[in-house]
Amino acid sequence: MILLPWPSRALSPNHRAHWSGIARAKKKARTDAALLARDAKVKPGTVLHLIFCPPDNRRRDLDNAFASMKAALDGLADAWGVNDREFRLSMEWGEVCPGGRVIVEVRG
């Protein structure tokens, strides 16, 4: 299991920000995910189950939450030396937690 931080608002497909802010957020998400994947010492798997634990009770939709995770998934693929198109994904909402996080369960 890998605990990733809640995706930056700049990574949401609905957020309009300057390209440089988006680029910084993508780089940070990718780097953080790669480091956390290495530190977790989790074997690479092809099936990833994402549990989105939002920071508050605001209404969100799962497809935008997933789209915000693209850079982080690229970071996981970087850490494991695999192509991210090999991932099979499933996802769900988890409980609200302070600051928010995304739990990545690696299966198979």
Q: Domain tally for the chain?
A: 1
Could you tell me how far CA 53 lies from the centroid of its own chain?
A: 11
Which pLDDT belongs to residue 103?
96
Domain range for 19:
2-107
Which pLDDT belongs to residue 107?
84
pLDDT at 44 over 90: no
Which pLDDT belongs to residue 85?
87
Q: What is the mean pLDDT of residues 21-27?
A: 94
Q: How far is CA 5 from CA 61, 73, 86, 94, in A?
A: 18, 12, 23, 14
- Tens digits of per-residue pLDDT, 47-98? 899 999 999 999 999 999 999 999 999 999 999 888 888 889 999 999 999 9
In the numeric block, the tokens 């494991």 are attached to: 80
Please report, for the domain that includes residue 86, its CATH number: 3.30.1330.70
Q: Which two tokens stand for residue 17?
A: 């920000």
Which pLDDT belongs to residue 53?
97
- The amino acid that residue 8 corresponds to is S
Rounded to whole angstroms, how far apart are CA atoms 11 and 9?
A: 5
Could you tell me how far CA 52 lies from the centroid of its own chain?
A: 9
pLDDT at 46 over 90: no
